[in-house]
């Protein structure tokens, strides 16, 4: 019943297809072509290095690596001065309602995304009885924050997105995958520096940028390794590529898995492309893992896992909710209070994120990026934010 009540306003406001199109920046042509464009077989595109394993851990590696990234290898975390730089960009970001292996809708895809942030396997029964041992769920919490995914993954954010997208009249996630593949959406660009040969490297820092959408009439990216994406100036400091807003100074490689930082300990401003633009969320921890091939030239699988503050998530989704509510601030606030705000699932106590006697204050996020090799960026442009439909004002 809580689940129905929590989504009632969302469904009512999205009953008209036009409202959904305004919210998500979906043009008419994507409604007809999106499903075809997004159904590219990413496994075949990756060549012989591809694998059906959706986790970053090797199938014969430690079982815990499925739940958490591999630990930092032994050795000095210092530059080798002989490593190379590689750059990858996200061709598509799986959010939780599409199975990355089949590209087909799945209400349980979110369960296989993210990491186990709190070290506990939470069930709905434990949450309902207040016996999770993690934190006290809010009184209006629903199923989306009451149980973990597979292998104890914490992903309340992905569960919310999956529920919402599967209840909409259009397949939003598949359409956004099509837009990302065609270069029409903001995306993430990652450069890993001083990357040594071999399976382990205690020092492999990374720089994370936001790639700007291509301009009207420009050729779409080919994703053949030769694309060079331009960087949105809002993701760098003082307009310089040498100073991105997000730097993974403690990046490392273990068994050919690149990890952005020490798990659970690194607060980050995490850029998330949403609603035709991108926003930074304040994450108490954010980890990106890329499972690389032996030559470190391709990405075979990836996990993005974070624990973000509810206020920063609300700020990120507010413009989209306001548009969905047809500029009615009252309706938009109802969606926040009924569906987003109550579903915090972690305690604001890194790195364990556990405080049984305290109210849950963070929301877990688990996403699965699909990275492709690109050329290093060399241009920063003022892409600017997407047009805001409700600039003219809001209603009560």
Task: Look at residue 63 in the predicted model and tell me its pLDDT.
Answer: 53
Under DSSP, is residue 224 helix (H, G, I), strand (E, B) or coil? coil
Task: Look at residue 315 in the predicted model and tell me its pLDDT.
Answer: 86
Computed over every residue of the chain, the mean pLDDT equals 81
Task: For residue range 86-131, list pLDDT tens digits in order.
Answer: 999 999 999 999 999 999 989 899 999 999 999 999 888 887 777 7
pLDDT classification of 12: cutoffs 50, 70, 90: very low
pLDDT surpasses 70 at 221: yes
Q: Which two tokens stand for residue 154?
A: 């914490």
Q: CA torsion sign, 340 to 342 to 345 to 346?
A: positive
Task: For residue range 310-327, list pLDDT tens digits in order.
Answer: 999 888 888 777 776 778
The percentage of the chain sitting over the pLDDT mark of 70, rounded to a whole number, equals 79
Domains of the chain, residue spans: 2-51+84-392
Residue identified by tokens 């409202």 is 19
Task: Look at residue 115 in the predicted model and tell me its pLDDT.
Answer: 96
pLDDT surpasses 60 at 205: yes
């Amino acid at each position: 019943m809580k689940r129905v009540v929590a989504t009632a306003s969302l469904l009512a406001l999205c009953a008209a297809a036009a409202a959904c199109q305004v919210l998500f920046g979906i043009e008419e042509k994507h409604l007809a072509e999106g499903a075809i464009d997004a159904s590219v077989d990413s496994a075949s595109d990756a060549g012989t290095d591809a694998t059906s394993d959706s986790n970053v851990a090797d199938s014969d590696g430690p079982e815990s690596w499925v739940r958490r990234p591999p630990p930092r290898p032994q050795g000095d975390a210092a530059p080798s001065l002989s490593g190379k730089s590689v750059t990858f960009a996200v061709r598509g970001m799986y959010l939780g309602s599409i199975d990355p292996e089949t590209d087909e809708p799945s209400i349980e895809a979110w369960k296989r995304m993210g990491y186990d942030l709190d070290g506990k396997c939470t069930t709905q029964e434990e949450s309902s009885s207040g016996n999770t041992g993690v934190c006290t769920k809010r009184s209006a919490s629903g199923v989306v924050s009451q149980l973990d995914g597979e292998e104890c993954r914490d992903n309340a954010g992905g569960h919310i997105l999956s529920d919402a997208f599967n209840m909409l009249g259009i397949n939003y996630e598949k359409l956004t995958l099509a837009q990302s593949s065609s270069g029409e959406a903001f995306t993430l660009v990652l450069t890993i520096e001083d990357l040594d040969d071999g399976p382990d490297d205690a020092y492999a820092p990374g720089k994370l940028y936001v790639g700007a959408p291509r301009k009207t009439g420009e050729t779409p990216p080919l994703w053949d390794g030769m694309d060079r994406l331009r960087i949105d100036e809002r993701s760098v400091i003082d307009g310089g590529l040498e100073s991105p807003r997000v730097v993974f100074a403690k990046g490392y490689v273990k068994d050919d898995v690149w990890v952005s930082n020490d798990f659970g300990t690194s607060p980050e401003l995490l850029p998330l492309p949403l609603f035709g633009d991108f926003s930074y969320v304040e994450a108490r921890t954010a980890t990106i893992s890329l499972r690389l091939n032996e030559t470190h030239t391709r990405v075979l699988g990836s996990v993005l896992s974070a624990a973000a503050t509810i206020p920063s998530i609300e700020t990120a989704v507010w413009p989209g909710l306001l548009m969905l509510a047809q500029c009615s601030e009252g309706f938009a606030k109802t969606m926040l209070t009924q569906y987003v705000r109550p579903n915090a699932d972690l305690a604001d106590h890194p790195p364990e994120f556990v405080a049984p006697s305290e109210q849950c204050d963070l929301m877990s996020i688990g996403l699965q990026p699909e990275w492709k090799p690109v050329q290093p960026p060399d241009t920063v442009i003022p892409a600017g934010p997407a047009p805001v439909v409700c600039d003219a004002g809001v209603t009560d």
